[in-house]
Structure 1
Amino acid sequence: MDIDFDVKHGLEGVAVAISSISYIDGEKGKLVYRGFEIEDLVENSHFEETAYLIWFSSLPNENEIDFITSMLAKKRTLPKKIIEMMKSFPKNAHPMGVLRSVVSLLGMYSKKDSSTLENAINLTAKIPTIIAYWYRIKNNLPLIPPKESLKHSENFLYMMFGEIPKHSDLFDKALILHLEQGMNASTFASTVTASTLSDIYSIITTAIGTLKGPLHGGANEKVLNMFKEIKSVENVEPYIYTLISNKEKIMGFGHRIYKTYDPRAKILKHWIKDLFLKDNVEYFEIALKVEEIVIKEFKEKKIFPNVDFYSGILYNYFNIPSEFFTTIFAMARIVGWTAHAMEYRKNNRIFRPRSIYNGPKGLKYKEVKGVEKNG
């Protein structure tokens, strides 16, 4: 069959929207939010302020930061009926499956006349509560209600563990690293749903389902599991060279856009190195050795660590179980998802790509003998 145009598998290189939210320079390893380089924001900003920047296109003044902080703090509580339903979920359910399902359920409790932005803020506030409550339910621990007096990231850690751990500022900064990343798989999927004029809860359910995949958000969980299997620095070489010889994927390396070191991975590595000099940081030495070998072996292919390679080590430092890592990703990325959904709708056009048919033609129906037709 003759095909008169190219198929872009994975839509690689295909532009589907015009956006002012973020910019990535894959050759130079730069990530920019609304004109601000990511290094500048993680050094000087915090989650609430950067979320405001993503949603409203500018950094907030004093009144505006009070507004967004207050809005996020007041909307953290979950409906009691949803909490009861969560308690009935199977304890072996993956946290991403729980998060996806509860976000969908929340859609039935939303006000019909709520704006998309109001619901975006509402969901952003509630996702940490969903994650923390599932951690407590799964481990047969009493639930810890949210505290309005705590910042977004601090409140999450408090609800998980009953206290705010040292270096919690790094957890807040890690959320900033995950807030936004252009038209990635989950953002594209959520934008497709948004283009149908569906509600924000359906949009975010779509995004979470996409992020759940091990080739997207689930990679950071796989990376830490790899470190656990390696066990020691001495085991790194045989382990990694076995993967290479078997042509198996090494999780945490490579990126569709970045052709150099992912700037987010570079920042995380720097933070963890500083922590390592002060405290015990599990798996960091193993990670350094894995990075050394992979960069050496794949130098010509320009394969470097991505954000998933080091983020799991940081989350593990805060005693967050690896199966919850991708939910932390979602806890931050919801800001980018909702910003793209709202931006796309300003000049909305429903997505309707086409596929190229390569199946048979001209077949004729033939009745199967002995089979009676209905009626």
Structure 2
Amino acid sequence: MSTITAPRGLAGVVVTDTALGDVRGREGFYHYRQYSAVDLAQTRSFEDVWYLMVHGALPDAAQSAAFTARTAELRRLPAEVREVLPALARAGSGPLAGLRTALSLLGAAGGFRPVYDIDADRRTADALAACAAVPTLLTALHRLGRGLDLVEPRDDLSCAANYLYMLTGSEPDPVKARAVEQYLVSTVDHGFNASTFTARVIASTGADVAACLVGAVGALSGPLHGGAPSRALDTLDAIAVPDRIDPWIREKVLAGERIMGFGHPVYRTEDPRSRMLRGIAQQFGGPLVDFAVQVEERVEAILAELKPGRELHTNVEFYAGVVMELCGLPREMFTPTFCAARVVGWSANILEQAADSKIIRPAARYVGPPAPQPVPDAGRG
């Protein structure tokens, strides 16, 4: 079999076909199915976009109501899963790490079977059950880890409002719930990023939906993938005051350090998610937003001066951190909140991959010592 040499990280390599969406980095545009993701975030509910990713079309009013009711019923956790959550929370490794174990148990308790062995309807049912449970699991692990009681989900609230309710235990503010919902919609899917590709690789083996999602969560937990929203806010904290913006940024850039919240491996223009979230933040207003906008302007100016031709702009994490802070989410829940949205995209990719029985099995170039060599005798004392 002939081999093809690919660039490091598979950058720019097309590995399969997908009908789920695309990221057009040079245009600063991305879409879910045939619709602009930003347009969807501005006009539709999270449940409608979830339906779109699973079924391939936006729901009408009756379909939306039925889908919302169905997924709301799936938010409650099986007893077998609830029983282990306190122990997972006490482990102290955080909600995202606890989610890996909880998802495995959820799959076992729910009777998830390998996608290779079940039909499309059962695959979809397993995916919906897992997606609906993830926000409940994440908020429960967060609260239990802080000595707080678990807050039961409510069927009368939207996904976003229910998420805020389970996280805080308080009636969600509609404006904040809508802002969080727009963030969730904007991060449902984004091409073949590391976690999405991981989910598809596992799905190509025919493994069950829970196994695929556990792998995706593991990939997301890496700081190079899912850990930047809180770190972008840490940048604002470190700068602290306007007079420190320029010297702080220049020092970091000249030292070769990365400015968190800026630059993206795909976009060569402004990240459309950042543009939308900046608008949401500005609707809230206040000192944090004003300072973030000021920092953004100066960082881009200094990067253009010191790194000409690089086209480094804010990415989704910069204003995502600002919006989530304004909506009252604790910083340690920024990446888990991203996960609560992205699980829908992962699941859609799992379902799409499950329809293809070809296992993903690339090759590697061996660069170690020449082989075969004689095996030396074991030393005798």
- TM-score scaled by structure 2? 0.91
Describe the SS at the equivalent of 2:124: helix
> Does structure 1 residue 295 correspond to structure 2 residue 303?
no
Q: CA deviation at 1:91?
A: 5.6
> What does the per-residue CA deviation read over 1:25-68, in whole Å, with 9 as the maximum and x for residues that have no partner?
21111111111112321221010001101111101122211221
- Aligned partner of residue 298 in structure 1, secondary structure: helix
Displacement of 1:133 in angstroms is 1.0
Of 170, 174, 191 in structure 1, the residue corresponding to residue 183 of structure 2 is 174
Q: RMSD value over aligned CA atoms? A: 1.8
Q: What's the counterpart of residue 224 of structure 2?
A: 215
Answer yes or no: is 1:240 the counterpart of 2:239.
no
Q: CA deviation at 1:112?
A: 4.3
CA drift of 1:295 comes to 1.6
- Check 1:369–1:43 CA distance in 2 against 1; reply closer, same or farther (3 A cut): closer
> What fraction of aligned residue pairs are identical, expressed as a percent?
30
Shift of 1:195: 0.2
Query: Following TM superposition, by how much is the alpha carbon of 1:209 offset from its aligned partner in structure 2, in angstroms?
Result: 0.7
Q: 2:147 aligns with which of 131, 135, 140?
A: 140
Task: Give the SS at the match of 2:154.
Answer: coil
Q: 1:1-375, aligned counterparts within 5 Å?
A: 6-89=5-88, 90=90, 92-112=92-112, 115-161=122-168, 162-167=170-175, 168-276=177-285, 280=286, 282=288, 284-299=289-304, 300-361=309-370, 362-371=372-381
Report if the CA contact (8 A) 1:95-1:134 is conserved.
yes
Q: Distance in 2 between matches of 1:225 and 1:80?
A: 38
On the 8 A contact 1:272/1:281 being kept in 2, the answer is: no
Aligned partner of residue 203 in structure 1, secondary structure: helix
Contact 2:221 2:227 in 1 (8 A): yes
Cα distance between partner residues in 2 of 1:60 and 1:326: 29
TM-score (norm 1): 0.92
1:86 to 1:370, Cα distance in 2 relative to 1, 3 A: same
**Aligned residues between the structures:** 365
Task: Between 207-216 and 338-347, report the one with greater CA deviation.
Answer: 338-347
- Unmatched 5+ stretches in structure 2: none
Q: Does structure 2 retain, via aligned residues, the 8 Å contact 1:177–1:264?
A: yes
* Preserved CA contact (<8 Å) 2:161 2:174: no
SS in 1 for 2:294: helix
Paired residue type of 1:201:
A
Distance, in Å, in 2 between the alignment partners of 1:134 and 1:112 is 22
